[in-house]
Amino acid sequence: MSVRLYTHPACFEHDPGDGHAESPARLRAVLDALDAPRFAALARVAAAHATRAQLERVHDSAYVDHVFASAPASGYARLDPDTVMSPGSLDAALHAAGAAAAATEAVLAGATRRAFCAVRPPGHHATRSEAMGFCLFNNAAVAAAHALEAHGLERIAIVDFDVHHGNGTQDIFWNNPRVFYASSHQIPLYPGTGAADEQGCGNIANAPLPPGAGSDVFRTAWDDHLLPRLDAFRPQLVIISAGFDADARDPLAQLQVHVDDYTWITQRLCELADRHAEGRIVSMLEGGYDLAALAEGTAAHVAVLLA
């Protein structure tokens, strides 16, 4: 069964401004990499908008209203020091969250076993009530909430290997034992959360990594700490916040991860999904700000999903 690739041209229209790290060029680099012949088996799907009901499973209604009301007709609207909306941003964010819900629906309905959502803006910093760190709606959280509410799953894992801690995802599911959140990330680094003692109701596992940590430290954190916790949880669905900014080339952080590490962690997560979740994986693009590293990391990740 082929892997589905969810994206939408509207995701190019989110433009935070000249010089902003989260540029439309990121998505172009990803999609160009996935146009290579070895990805011919990807089934490409245009993502619809998320509904208000899907957004309000994870965001306060007042916050959703605020994002809609902030969308500018021209120019820019700044929601926080790093998070900027242009006239195309709301449409892009709705398609990004819609991709998360649609991919989850397809995987759980048996239409495909795995899906990758090549969308922007990213999502894992968006909390219930705040836009943060380039993120408007929390796409991974929308995916998990759809699985909980529409399909009644009891155990969902959100796995995050972005170099920045997914504080928004942790915030949204802090007291929800049906969702297990596991993250490796650099500390100290934005957003300043993700210490090992942040454990929610026992459903949070953080593995902070020091600046300069490379492949050995990254893999040890997953092998010795995060993957055993995920195995013990026995998830029925694995959702991945797939950020590629832990790469040594990324300008916004100082980890020393390489493309082979993305192949390795994706293989381990596929094995986890095969053991507990009938192989079901929904992966969401998050960060990655060196275009070559982003393209290579994404290609390595999706190649394993296709294997």
pLDDT per position as a tens digit, 236-290:
999 999 999 999 999 999 999 999 999 999 999 999 999 999 999 999 999 999 9
What's the whole-number mean pLDDT along residues 197-216?
A: 98
Lookup: tokens for 223: 């092998």
User: Is the model's pTM score more than 0.95?
Assistant: yes
CA 246/CA 297 separation, integer angstroms = 10
What's the whole-number mean pLDDT along residues 110-126?
A: 98
Q: Mean pLDDT for the chain? A: 98
pLDDT digits (tens, 9 = 90+) for 137-191: 999 999 999 999 999 999 999 999 999 999 999 999 999 999 999 999 999 999 9
CB within 8 A of 282, min separation 6: which ones? Answer: 100, 103, 104, 107, 114, 115, 117, 143, 237, 238, 239, 240
Q: Which of 59, 125, 258, 301 is catalytic?
A: 125
CA 21/CA 53 separation, integer angstroms = 31
Phi-psi region at 15: left, alpha or beta (left = phi > 0; alpha = psi -120 to 50): beta
Q: Where are the alpha helices (DSSP H) in the chain?
A: 24-33, 52-56, 61-70, 89-108, 139-151, 167-172, 215-221, 227-233, 259-276, 291-306
What's the whole-number mean pLDDT along residues 117-128?
A: 98
Single-letter amino acid code for the residue at 19? G
Which one-letter DSSP state was computed for residue 136?
S
Determine whether 125 is an active site residue: yes
pLDDT band at 1 (very low <50, low <70, confident <90, very high): low
CATH number of the CATH domain containing 38: 3.40.800.20
The total of structural domains in the chain comes to 1
pLDDT band at 2 (very low <50, low <70, confident <90, very high): confident
pLDDT digits (tens, 9 = 90+) for 3-22: 999 999 999 999 999 999 99
What percentage of residues in the chain have a pLDDT greater than 90?
99
What's the whole-number mean pLDDT along residues 207-218?
A: 98
Residue 218 has phi, psi (to 5 degrees) of -60, -50
Q: Which residues constitute the domain of residue 148?
A: 4-306
As separate numbers, helices (DSSP H) first and strands (DSSP E) second, the chain gives 10, 10
Whole-angstrom CA distances from 38 to 4, 33, 145, 245, 246 are 14, 10, 33, 24, 25
